[in-house]
Amino acid sequence: MSALVLRTYAAVVRRLGDARRGATAVEYALLVALIAGVLIAAITALGQGTEGLYATMNALAKYLS
pLDDT, residue 19, reads: 59
Predicted local distance difference test score (pLDDT) of residue 36: 95
CA atoms within 13 A on the CB side of 28: 6
CA angle, residues 44, 49, 52, in degrees to nearest 5: 130
Those residues of the chain that have pLDDT short of 50 are none
- The whole-angstrom separation of Cα 61 and Cα 49 is 19
Reduce the DSSP state of residue 65 to 3 states and report it: coil
Mean pLDDT estimate for the chain: 82
pLDDT at position 54 is 86
User: In this predicted structure, what is the pLDDT of residue 26?
Assistant: 83
pTM assigned to the model: 0.52
- Give the pLDDT confidence score for residue 21 in this predicted structure: 63
Q: How far apart are CA 44 and CA 51, in angstroms?
A: 11
